[in-house]
Amino acid sequence: MKTQFKPDFEQLLKVLNRERPDRPALFEFFLNGKLHGRHGDFFALGYDYQTTIGIHDLVLPFVSGPLLETLSQNESLFANRSDFEAFPWRDPDPAVYREKISAIAKDLPAGGKYVGSNPQSVLGGLVAAFGYENLCMLIYDDPEFVRDVAGAIGKRLIMHVDLLCSFDCYGATILNDDWGFATQTRLAPSQMREFIIPWYTKMAEAAHSHGKPVILHSCGNMWGLIDDICGTCKIDAKHSFEDNILPVEAAYETYGSRIAIVGGIDVDYLCRKSPEEIKARANALLDQTESRGGYALGSGNSIPEYVPDENYLAMTSAALERRQATGFG
């Protein structure tokens, strides 16, 4: 990968450890192909890392397109245990991971690292397996079935996290899921603690066993589980924020002493506001967090195609200009 910027993953690592970086750090889960393709890689845009997607060979319940809409209502992949047992589950193959990661490791610039992510999530996999409404009913009608499917997904994701984090070119990993709606968690907090939280605790333990921090990417209002996230799972950083749920500025003030906050500028805000307004908010965020640390600037979720390039660049310029002013380039 070619870039004039010299990445330093230690700066993001300081953020994830709730420390103050030497200069502002940036964070995104993923960038749209327009930005990514134009600049070649995350590093060319000023990031100290690049996320990787597709470094796995697992087969897990997953749906997309029109079927996803029907599954969000009441259709399912698994109508019964026979469907579950017949599903072509596949554990991660270490040889496949070595082959794929060896192919990309040589492309890392000095000082940079990869940040991993999961190919599926426990809650997302359960929704794919049963449909959301069916899942809510099965938790009461056949909780053992739900528990078994969650276990089949969770144990393979633990293996995936453990494999990724065993490679030196990976500096951290993202545990991605959608735990909430706008007003509450998708399952009752007690149900999340029974069926979901234990697997994220074990995934975090797998990453931490290799000395790698963990970032939870979860959309929606999951703040009722913050004690579980910080105390039980021992997750290092939280990503994904929406202004109508909890603005990132408030999240930092309320929870920043317990968990690192990364990203945060609402994607809707990035789309609707002017570059000047976006840059002003980004600068205010950096002012708010500079002395205490534990924050990396970025969007509340990701940078899809519909975010205007000039608005995205206005956000990142707040950090990049501060770097230049202090001699970090």
Do residues 206 and 154 touch, judged by C-beta distance below 8 A?
Answer: no
Terminus-to-terminus CA distance in the chain, angstroms?
18
Least confident range from 44-58, 189-203, 204-218, 271-285: namely 44-58
Instruction: State whether the Cα torsion 162-257-217-108 is positive or negative.
Output: negative
Q: In the predicted model, is pLDDT for residue 114 greater than 60?
A: yes
3-state SS assignment for residue 264: coil
Highest mean pLDDT among 41-45, 71-75, 258-262: 258-262
| Distance (Å, whole) CA 139 – CA 189 | 13
Q: Using 50, 70 and 90 to split pLDDT, how confident is the model at 75?
A: low
Mean pLDDT of the chain: 94
Q: Are 25 and 261 in contact (CB under 8 A)?
A: no
Query: How sure is the predictor about 74, in pLDDT bands with cuts at 50, 70 and 90?
Result: low
| Whole-number pLDDT of residue 329 | 66
Helices (H), 27-181: 33-39, 66-71, 81-86, 94-105, 122-130, 132-141, 143-165
Q: Say what the pTM is.
A: 0.94
Confidence of residue 3 (pLDDT cuts 50, 70, 90): very low
- 147-184 pLDDT, tens digit per residue, is 999 999 999 999 999 999 999 999 999 999 999 999 99
Closest CA to 126 of 115, 117, 138: 138
CA distances from 140 to 130, 147, 214, 273 (A): 14, 12, 32, 45
Handedness of CA 289, 291, 294, 299 (dihedral sign): positive
Stretch 49-57: mean pLDDT = 93
Closest CA to 115 of 168, 48, 169, 170: 170
Q: For the chain, list the domains and their CATH numbers.
A: 9-59+92-121+155-183+194-325 (3.20.20.210)
Residue 41: what pLDDT?
Answer: 84
Q: How many Å apart are CA 285 and CA 15, to the nearest integer?
A: 14
Q: Dihedral angle at the C-alpha atoms of 8, 9, 13, 19, nearest 10 degrees?
A: 10
pLDDT, tens digit, 9 for 90 and up, residues 278-310: 999 999 999 999 999 999 999 999 999 999 999
Q: What confidence tier does 135 reach under pLDDT thresholds 50, 70, 90? A: very high
